[in-house]
Each structure stands twice: as structure tokens, then as C-alpha cells.
């Protein structure tokens, strides 16, 4: 439904901008002109794309909100587009797109986006009601699944209850039905999820065939996590850690194509780095008053250590900012959100993700990829490898500038967060492909444009 909402958003913007442009060309302009054969046609396309980029950056229309919030965000997105296109024409000294088209489309697109938001909200609600999950398995797994589904921003499914395998298999002498059948009827569940203990219980498995005839869908715990949460469940990390191919290792052409993409985007990023560095230098001199960059050791593919580059965002403390003559000095603590060491200018860099830009050098050198698990410092890796199952498997592939764990979970401030992100990283390893990489890149760009910073 999100994809449909996006298509309707773009289609509506195109229809509104081009309809107003044609109307202006035929009935308002003196003399009349052929809109399709004019420079204004190209500008109309550019304006439409700009409208969609800003709308997408503010989560319109596929992140359902209240009508008031949708109206505010749509107005803000359209307002930014109007200012941008007007400034471009002012700088170029010509009116390529009439004010009638610019402001007329702004007036019409805002209610269109609000309407699409209502559509997205209603379809999301129906989707939630359709995917109602009843769980059979250990109580600890039930609690974790219920928590993860409830806390998921996508709200892809609704958790309606759970049973242990023993409770699900016990017969009811009065009703003549099992507690499982009655629970399905009572909760109106549409999906039955079985953990490992339920799958190994013949009494439970024996009832599953009959449920298919009733239209109940069956999922393993791992399948449910992958389908609705985009990660692997904690209990399955050890069991499933080695039971899949990894695209970067086993794919015939994936590794080569991925490296070509890294080099192409890395060179584009290098151009941006050259252009943006003078402005960062000025901001750093005025606000941070210290070295413009810092270096840190990170663990890459195969467990090899390399030095990562970033624009400095914190006070020049030896605990955090690593001087060139001491590149192996570790950070002593996990960085916290709203960390007092982050300078005001550093907050701006972090919110825009520009502090990561020097890492295009690491990408061109081959230390990093555009997409992959984020690299950690050696002492963190040593600690986490001892506590988290199969943690070192994330080093089978080249680490990335961004990754699935970043777009799905974001900031990690302690070991619990690291464990949560590991579940997303294993999902990425299982599903590694160019299509998935591009999806992650698009979501990262959306976060950057929307100013969704992070603490680390």
C-alpha cells in the first residue's frame, strides 16, 4: 500500500503541475505558446520531482499521521519547493515556470497529500487488522515477539495472544475442541506463529494441517520476524547463522557489481566532499575550535583493522577525538544520545549526516562499502564477540557507510542495542542483493533529507 500511495502522490503532482501549465499556456499567457515544446516543460518536470523529493523527505504520504500533522508537513514540504524553485529562477534571471503554476500547484497539492495520508492511514489499519498473530511457544519468546511487534514503527501486524505448546495441545472434553482452535476463534487470529519448541511438538504440528483449510496462515518464528520485522529473532541467531548463502561471497556477479556501485557513488561523494569541506572548515573554526577531522580504528572485512575518517563533531577530548599521532586510542564509553560532548555545529553535522562524508575516502580505498554492517571499534568487537552469538560473522562482508540496521533501528548506545542491531544485520546477510542495497540507500537519503540524525 505504501508503494501505491507513492505512485498516487507522484501521479497527482504530475497531473496538477502539467494541467496548470497547459491551462496557462492556452488561456492566460499572451501570446499563447506550446507548453510541450518550450523550456517550461523541462522546468515543470524539475518542479514536480522537487515536490516529490521534499514530500518524501517529510514522510508524505506513506507514513500515516493525523490530518493536522499531515496538513502541516505537506504545507512545509510544498513551501520549501516553492521557495527553492523561485530562488532558482531569481538567480537565473528568467521566469521559466509561471507564478500561476507554482502557487496554483502548491494550493492543490497540499490537500492532495492530506487525502493520500488518510488513504495510507486507512489501508495501514486494515492491514493491521488482517495480520493478527497468535503465537505458540515458550513464554519468553512470546514476550519478546509481542514487544517487538508492538514497538515496530511499521505496525505491520497485531499480536493478539499466545499459548505454550502444552496448553495448545490439551483437549477440551466439554467443547470437543483444543484450546488452540478456541484461541484462534476468540482472538480472530489470521496467522499462527510457531517457535522451535512448538514445531518439535507432534501434538501441535498435528493440528496445523486442519488450520490451513480454515484460511489460517502458518509461520515459523524466524519467518514471522523476517516478514513483519525485517530481522532474525534472537533465539534463531545461533541456529540459522550459517544456514544461508551470502551474496558478497557466493554471488557470481554481486560482489563485482557492488564494488562498481561503490566506486561510482564514492567518486560522486568525493566531489561533494571537496565542495563542502571549506564550509565545514569555517563552521569548525567558529564553533568547534579544533581539528576538522578525527580518525578511529574500526574492524572491517575479515577482522582486519582500518582507520575511519569523520568530520569532528565533539569537543577536542582525548577520550573521543583521536589525534593523528595516536590513531589506536579507543573511545572509553558508548556515545549517548544528546551527548554533552557534541558541539552545536557538531549537532548540525550529525543531523545532516555530513560528518560521515570523509568516509568516501575509505570507500574508494576499499575499506568500506556504501551498504553493509557499520564497523565498530576493536575493543567493542572484542567485548561483543564474547557476549553475542556468532557476532564475528558480520565481518564476512565489507562494512558499510550505511546499513539495514541503521535505517531500521538507528542509534546504538549500549550492548542491548548492539544485540538488537545484530538481528537486522543477519537479516541483511541472508538477503544481500543489489535491489536490497538500493532500497537501503534510498531510505538513508530520505533520512538525510528529513534531518533524522543519530547519536553515534
- Which CATH number belongs to the domain containing residue 141 in this structure? 3.40.50.10700
Shared domain check, 294 and 416: yes
Q: For residue 66, give the C-alpha cell.
A: 493525523
**pLDDT score at 364:** 96
Cα of 376 vs its chain's centroid, Å:
20
Shared domain check, 421 and 350: yes
CA distance 285 to 281: 6
Is residue 178 a contact partner of residue 212, using CB atoms and an 8 Å limit? no
Residues in Cβ contact with 379 at an 8 Å cutoff, skipping those fewer than 6 apart: 330
Question: Residue 308 belongs to what H/E stretch?
Answer: strand 305-311
Largest separation between any pair of C-alpha atoms in the chain:
88
Residues in Cβ contact with 406 at an 8 Å cutoff, skipping those fewer than 6 apart: 374, 444, 454
**pLDDT score at 4:** 81
Q: Is residue 454 part of a domain?
A: no
Is residue 418 a contact partner of residue 388, using CB atoms and an 8 Å limit? yes
Shared domain check, 103 and 12: yes
Q: Is residue 43 part of a domain?
A: yes
DSSP codes joined into one string, 359-416? GHHHHHHTS-EEESPPP--HHHHHHHHHHSTTGGGGGGS--EEE-HHHHHT----SHH
Which DSSP symbol is given to 306?
Answer: E
CA distance 219 to 368: 36
> SS3 for 31?
coil
Domain that holds residue 224: 131-229
CA distance 233 to 240: 10
Shared domain check, 152 and 114: no
- Averaged pLDDT in 10-residue chunks for the chain of 456 residues: 79 92 88 79 90 81 76 89 89 83 93 87 62 94 93 83 90 66 90 93 85 86 92 74 68 87 94 92 81 92 94 68 44 62 83 89 96 93 85 91 89 79 90 90 76 49
CA distance 187 to 160: 6
Q: Is residue 64 part of a domain?
A: yes
Domain end among 180, 201, 229: 229
Domain end among 85, 111, 126: 126
Q: Is residue 455 part of a domain?
A: no
**pLDDT score at 173:** 47
CA distance 250 to 432: 10
Shared domain check, 415 and 277: yes
Shared domain check, 89 and 218: no
Q: Is residue 221 part of a domain?
A: yes
Shared domain check, 139 and 112: no
> SS3 for 255?
helix
Cα of 147 vs its chain's centroid, Å:
20
Q: Is residue 376 part of a domain?
A: yes
Shared domain check, 219 and 161: yes
Q: Count of domains in the chain?
A: 3
**pLDDT score at 127:** 55
Domain end among 106, 126, 146: 126
> 336 burial class (0-12, 13-18, 19+ CB within 10 angstroms)?
middle
Q: Is residue 238 part of a domain?
A: no
Shared domain check, 177 and 122: no
Q: Return left, alpha or beta for 334; rule: phi > 0 is left, psi -120 to 50 is alpha, else beta.
A: beta
Q: Is residue 399 part of a domain?
A: yes
Shared domain check, 39 and 112: yes
Shared domain check, 197 and 58: no
Q: Which residue in 273, 267, 253 sits closest to 354, CA to CA?
A: 273
**pLDDT score at 323:** 41
CA distance 415 to 412: 8
Q: Which residue in 331, 352, 371 sits closest to 451, CA to CA?
A: 352
**pLDDT score at 7:** 85
Integer-rounded Cα radius of gyration of the chain: 26
Shared domain check, 202 and 299: no
Amino acid at each position: 500500500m505504501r508503494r501505491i500511495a507513492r505512485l498516487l502522490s507522484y501521479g497527482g503532482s504530475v497531473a496538477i503541475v502539467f494541467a496548470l501549465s497547459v491551462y496557462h499556456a492556452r488561456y492566460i499567457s499572451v501570446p499563447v505558446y506550446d507548453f510541450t515544446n518550450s523550456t517550461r516543460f523541462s522546468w515543470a518536470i524539475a518542479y514536480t520531482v522537487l515536490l516529490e523529493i521534499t514530500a518524501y523527505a517529510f514522510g508524505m504520504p506513506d507514513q500515516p499521521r493525523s490530518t493536522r500533522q499531515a496538513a502541516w508537513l505537506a504545507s512545509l514540504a510544498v513551501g520549501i519547493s516553492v521557495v527553492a524553485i523561485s530562488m532558482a529562477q531569481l538567480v537565473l534571471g528568467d521566469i521559466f515556470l509561471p507564478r500561476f503554476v507554482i502557487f496554483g500547484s502548491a494550493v492543490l497539492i497540499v490537500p492532495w497529500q492530506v487525502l493520500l495520508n488518510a488513504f495510507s492511514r486507512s489501508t495501514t489499519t486494515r492491514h493491521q487488522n488482517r495480520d493478527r498473530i497468535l503465537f505458540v511457544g515458550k513464554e519468553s519468546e512470546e514476550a519478546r515477539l509481542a514487544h517487538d511487534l508492538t514497538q515496530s514503527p511499521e505496525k505491520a501486524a497485531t499480536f493478539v495472544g499466545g499459548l505454550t505448546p502444552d496448553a495448545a495441545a490439551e483437549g477440551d472434553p466439554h467443547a470437543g475442541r483444543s484450546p488452540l482452535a478456541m484461541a484462534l476463534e476468540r482472538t480472530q487470529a489470521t496467522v499462527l506463529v510457531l517457535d522451535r519448541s512448538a514445531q518439535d511438538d507432534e501434538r501441535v504440528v498435528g493440528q496445523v494441517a486442519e488450520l490451513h483449510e480454515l484460511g489460517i496462515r502458518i509461520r515459523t518464528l524466524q519467518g514471522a520476524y523476517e516478514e513483519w520485522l525485517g530481522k532474525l529473532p534472537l533465539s534463531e541467531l545461533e541456529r540459522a547463522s550459517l544456514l544461508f548463502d551470502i551474496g558478497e561471497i557466493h554471488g557470481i556477479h554481486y560482489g563485482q557489481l557492488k564494488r562498481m556501485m561503490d566506486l561510482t557513488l564514492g567518486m560522486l561523494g568525493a566531489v561533494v566532499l571537496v565542495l563542502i569541506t571549506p564550509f565545514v572548515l569555517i563552521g569548525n573554526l567558529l564553533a568547534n575550535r579544533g581539528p576538522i577531522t578525527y580518525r578511529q580504528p574500526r574492524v572491517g572485512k575479515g577482522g582486519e583493522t582500518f582507520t575511519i575518517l569523520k568530520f569532528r563533531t565533539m569537543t577536542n577530548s582525548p577520550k573521543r577525538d583521536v589525534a593523528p599521532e595516536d590513531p589506536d586510542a579507543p573511545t572509553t564509553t558508548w556515545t549517548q544520545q544528546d551527548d554533552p560532548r557534541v558541539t552545536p555545529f557538531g549537532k548540525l553535522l550529525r543531523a545532516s549526516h555530513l560528518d560521515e562524508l570523509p568516509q568516501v575516502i575509505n570507500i574508494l580505498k576499499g575499506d568500506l562499502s556504501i551498504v553493509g554492517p557499520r564497523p565498530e571499534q576493536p575493543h567493542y568487537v572484542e567485548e561483543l564477540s564474547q557476549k553475542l552469538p556468532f557476532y564475528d560473522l558480520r565481518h564476512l562482508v565489507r562494512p558499510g557507510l550505511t546499513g539495514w540496521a541503521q535505517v531500521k533501528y538507528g542509534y546504538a548506545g549500549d550492548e542491548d542495542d548492539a544485540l538488537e542491531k545484530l538481528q537486522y544485520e543477519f537479516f541483511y546477510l541472508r538477503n544481500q542483493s543489489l535491489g536490497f542495497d538500493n532500497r537501503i540507500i534510498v531510505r538513508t537519503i530520505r533520512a538525510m533529507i528529513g534531518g533524522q540524525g543519530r547519536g553515534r
